[in-house]
Structure 1
Amino acid sequence: MDPIELTRLSPADPLRWLQRGWRDFMRCPHIGLFYGLCFCLMGHALWWVFASAPEYVLALSAGFLLVGPLLCLGLYDASRGLELGGRAPSLRSTLTAWKTRQGQMAIFAGLLLILELIWSRASLVVFAVSFNTLPSTEDLLASLLRPENLPFLLSYAAVGAVFAGLIFVTSVISIPMILDRQVDAVTAGLTSLRACADNPGVMLLWGALITLLVALAMLPWLLGLLVVGPVLGHASWHAYRQLLPPQPAS
């Protein structure tokens, strides 16, 4: 089997993807706002866990990164519909887009779940070796930011960065690829890894933009996720489409 050819990217491409993602969001806002509400509710769930059981925050952050790409599947389907026919599919059809490739989607979700479980275990280990007892939930953030907790914060951030990076490079184009092409989950994951290896600077910039926009969207009571979440989902489709243009008709 011939290797899948990937397009070389330029540093300006991530901004173009965001522009196209915004355009798709404005063309089917009802779909985008539904998925944006899902992202917003997930963010509030994460904040509730931070307030009540902080040792599980990093683990559930991994779950956010697991569920997020799968939720974006509906947004990928909407962008694909706009691309193919000029009209977005119905919200109902985006909710069942996974059924056309459910076997491979399940395999890939299983891979992400394994990474999430390892991340969860690693985060608990970091807490266990850093604290004899859990910090008080009162003024928790201020307590964790004390100078004596700097080694813990660095370790916590390092573990999160490693696993978030693994999930990002594995899934950045793999889920839209499974939806769009008749490929297996392993091929899609390896292609995603190769896309990042071939364009390390651009994909690092794309990951940084995603992180920055999500962080900013969380500031006003997480309401920014109503728009930022779906725009990033649509933009991710366009990132995939630029890297892998449509296959010529046979």
Structure 2
Amino acid sequence: MSHNDSGQAGLPASHFPVIRSIDAAAIPRWLAAGWRDCRRAGGASVFYGICFAAAGWLMYFVFAEAYALFAGLTTGFLLVGPFLAIGLYDLSRRIERGEPPRLGPTLAAWRANLPNVGLFAALLTIVLLIWARASMVVFALFFTGGLPTFADVVQSVLTFEQPEFSLVYFAVGGFFAAFVFGIGAISLPLMFDRKTDAVTAAIASLVVCGRNPGPMLLWAGSIVLLVGIGFATLFTGLVIATPLVGHATWHAYRDLVAEHEDAVPAAS
């Protein structure tokens, strides 16, 4: 999908975008477009994937013995992922515009709307820290037996060997994940692309999810599946999974948010 930048600079950051309705058939289209961007960006895209994987390996070596904290920080990848993928959004936009997908300029892509991107990143960080603490509390209250390894924890969760623990862990984690996905499904691409303020972008993301509940639920499940495969391969799979999700998210944003010339002012 092409994007027309003419006339965009005159729109204030508080202008609310027009949200489109989509169907579930859009999801494989986003993934296919994301994969094309991965291939065209080449090493620049892989660089971001390696950064995600390296962060996972670092957490494993530092926190593997603190299994409750490690589990919280690992799943917290899904909470801070939208911010960490800004460079991937920039690569996709450059490809879209016919520009060379060079790595260097994308490393500072967050500076395009620093105050609002920084505010949103701070919110994601706070949510991550709260979730990490909540994860430890759930382990302390509901996980029974001796001191487990991380593999024991994963097996217990996936096989429901301790159903009460698994249900509580999924319920609490699902609440945090739903909150972040709701406010972050398209907010960071929107802030990056149009210099939109953080509050308007978060509300727009909620409107996207509210208008397209089925497709967005499937999209969230697709992200969890792809990132879960990356976790299951001891983070090696993140080298491919995270760039694919990041590029696909850019195309999701393009499909879900109308062009600037269709935008209307936010309600006061």
- Taking structure 2 as the reference length, what is the TM-score of the superposition? 0.83
For these two proteins, the number of residue pairs brought into alignment is 249
Please give the alpha-carbon distance, in whole angstroms, between the structure 1 residues aligned to 2:153 and 2:136.
Answer: 18
Counterparts of 1:1-250 in structure 2 under 5 Å?
3-48=16-61, 51-61=64-74, 63-84=76-97, 86-131=98-143, 135-137=147-149, 140-141=152-153, 144=156, 149-248=162-261
Q: How far off is 1:192 after superposition?
A: 0.5
Maintained 8 Å contact 1:39/1:68: no
Give the gaps of 5 or more residues in structure 2.
1-13, 264-268
Structure 1 or 2: more helix by fraction: 1
Q: What does the per-residue CA deviation read over 1:34-71, in whole Å, with 9 as the maximum and x for residues that have no partner?
A: 00101211232344466311110343135423442222
Change (3 A) 1:58 1:4: same
Maintained 8 Å contact 2:88/2:247: yes
Secondary structure in 1 aligned to 2:206?
Answer: helix
Q: What does the per-residue CA deviation read over 1:92-119, in whole Å, with 9 as the maximum and x for residues that have no partner?
A: 1100011121111111111212222221
Please give the alpha-carbon distance, in whole angstroms, between the structure 2 residues aligned to 1:246 and 1:61.
Answer: 36
Please give the alpha-carbon distance, in whole angstroms, between the structure 1 residues aligned to 2:125 and 2:47.
Answer: 24
How big is the alpha-carbon RMSD for the aligned residues of Structure 1 and Structure 2?
A: 2.6
Secondary structure in 1 aligned to 2:261?
Answer: coil
Please give the alpha-carbon distance, in whole angstroms, between the structure 2 residues aligned to 1:152 and 1:104.
Answer: 37
Counting aligned pairs with the same residue, the percent is 42
Maintained 8 Å contact 2:131/2:173: yes
Please give the alpha-carbon distance, in whole angstroms, between the structure 1 residues aligned to 2:194 and 2:123.
Answer: 19
Maintained 8 Å contact 1:77/1:94: yes
Change (3 A) 1:139 1:8: closer
